[in-house]
Amino acid sequence: MKFNESLALRSGVVLRNRLVMAPMTIVSSFHDGTVTKEEIQHYAMRSKGLGAVITGTANVTDNGKGWPGELTIATDEAIGALTQLSEGIHQSGAKAILQIFHAGRMTSQKTIGEQPVSASAFAAEIPNAEQPRELDNFEIEAIIEAFGQATRRAIAAGFDGVEIHGANTYLLQQFFSPHSNRRTDEWGGSLEKRAKFPLAVIDRVLAEVKNTAGRPFAVGYRLSPVEITEPGIKFEDTLWLVEQLKAKELDYLHLSLKHFGRKSNDKNYQDKSELAYIHDALKGRVPLIGVGGVRSLEDVEGLLENAEFAAIGQQLLIDPEFAVKLIAKRTDEIISKPFGEAIQDLPMPHPMFKYLEKRYQ
Ligand SMILES: Cc1cc2nc3c(=O)[nH]c(=O)nc-3n(C[C@H](O)[C@H](O)[C@H](O)COP(=O)(O)O)c2cc1C
């Protein structure tokens, strides 16, 4: 598949090519989650040549905020500055997709001013994880509604779509995971019951688009294929979930991976990459975005053997013109230095620099 072919999504949103910016928080919003000028510049600078930019994640409720400097879409007040963000991305002709989420237990009392919430009162198995409080039925329904309201705001702010963040161990994944979800009511237990919350969020978001968009507006879903904890999400659970997702009117699925060629940790699924298994399972019904480790034209081409779109993360941080260089066949100009070294040369918001410096130490 050629990376510079356009593709029309189910909703009618057309991406001019197969290159998208992977969602990356840049920890540079104001303390209340309002978009800053630096963030708008950061995205505008990197959107050139891309089919779409997926923004860093935005919390749909105040208690869903994961870390300081994250975007918010929890109130109507956020719409004004988010409109400037979508306009900044649109300047280059890229589509603007806002990623929306709830962090669940992957946050702290310090960040949200109250005890974090989750499917069950089980802490994550990571250093300094805090014990969350189990959400009650009423709160679960309120969060589903909050995803709908966030979608309404993203539409009002001029975005071309939302990506529901069901990956990277945040709340949607916490409901699907047998590690974080130990409930025995309608929201937990069997695979079907654990999938009920993420599927209800998708339905609510799709209903909002149907009722209020009045123009093509895409809805994507991001998921992580496995968990390493015991119990945890197994690759075959994910293949089951993919079948459920296939039945929804989604514009795309997006697999969150550290490397696009990664194989599953399940010995029964070693014939090909996780991306290839899921791409084959989708049978062309829903376009797939792959991600992880793309740094060259060969990587883009290798990834696109098993996906319709290639998402590029860190390479775009250090090489804002990566897509432009690919399109203009200026591949000899692609920056290939290690990330830690390359970020030293780049203008970027100070909190972002400090965050990345720590990451690449
Ligand atoms: C600084 C940074 C911030 C990230 N923030 C998010 C995020 O907000 N939402 C998300 O789904 N993934 C996030 N990711 C993961 C990326 O989307 C991507 O999956 C990962 O970086 C692998 O792709 P890459 O090798 O091209 O960077 C983040 C990654 C980085 C490096």
Q: Which two tokens stand for residue 333?
A: 């100009």
Residue 227 CA to residue 125 CA, distance in Å, equals 11
Q: What is the Å distance from ligand 1's center to 236 Cα?
A: 24
Q: What's the mean per-residue pLDDT of the chain?
A: 97
CB 105 less than 6 A from any atom of ligand 1? no
Crossing angle of helices 137-156 and 79-90, in 10° steps, is 50
Summarised one tens digit per residue, pLDDT across range 322-346 is 999 999 999 999 999 999 999 998 8
CB 167 less than 6 A from any atom of ligand 1? yes
To the query of whether residue 355 is one of the catalytic residues in this protein, the response is no
Asked if residue 15 has pLDDT above 90, the reply is: yes
Q: What is the Å distance from ligand 1's center to 313 Cα?
A: 6
CA-to-CA dists, residue 81 to 111, 160, 330, angstroms: 22, 16, 35
At residue 187, the pLDDT reads 98
Which residue of the set 43, 170, 252, 277 is catalytic?
Answer: 170
How does 113-127 read in b/e, with b if 16+ C-beta sit within 10 Å?
eeebbbbbebebeee
Q: Which two tokens stand for residue 330?
A: 């200026």
Which pLDDT band holds residue 65 (cuts at 50, 70, 90)?
very high
| Ligand 1, atom nearest to 22 Cα | 17
At residue 107, the pLDDT reads 98
- All structural domains of the chain: 7-359 (3.20.20.70)
| Ligand 1, atom nearest to 165 Cα | 11
At residue 349, the pLDDT reads 83
CB 82 less than 6 A from any atom of ligand 1? no
Q: From atom 29 of ligand 1, which residue's Cα is the shortest distance away?
A: 24
Asked if residue 1 has pLDDT above 80, the reply is: no
At residue 346, the pLDDT reads 87
| Ligand 1, atom nearest to 355 Cα | 1
Q: Within 47-108, where are the H helices?
A: 79-90
| Ligand 1, atom nearest to 295 Cα | 26
Q: What is the Å distance from ligand 1's center to 44 Cα?
A: 18
Average pLDDT over residues 7-20: 98
Q: Which of 278-282, 288-292, 353-357 has the lowest mean pLDDT?
A: 353-357
- Which of 19, 20, 21, 25 to mutate for ligand 1's pocket (most ligand atoms within 8 Å of CB)? 25
HSE, side-chain direction, 13 A CA sphere, residue 252:
32
Summarised one tens digit per residue, pLDDT across range 209-244 is 999 999 999 999 999 999 999 999 999 999 999 999
CB 100 less than 6 A from any atom of ligand 1? no
Residue 271 CA to residue 290 CA, distance in Å, equals 18
Q: Closest Cα partner for 197 from 128, 114, 137?
A: 137
Asked if residue 122 has pLDDT above 90, the reply is: yes
CB 66 less than 6 A from any atom of ligand 1? no
Q: What is the Å distance from ligand 1's center to 23 Cα?
A: 6
Summarised one tens digit per residue, pLDDT across range 242-288 is 999 999 999 999 999 999 999 999 999 999 999 999 999 999 999 99
Average pLDDT over residues 60-69: 97
Residue 292 CA to residue 74 CA, distance in Å, equals 29
At residue 350, the pLDDT reads 87
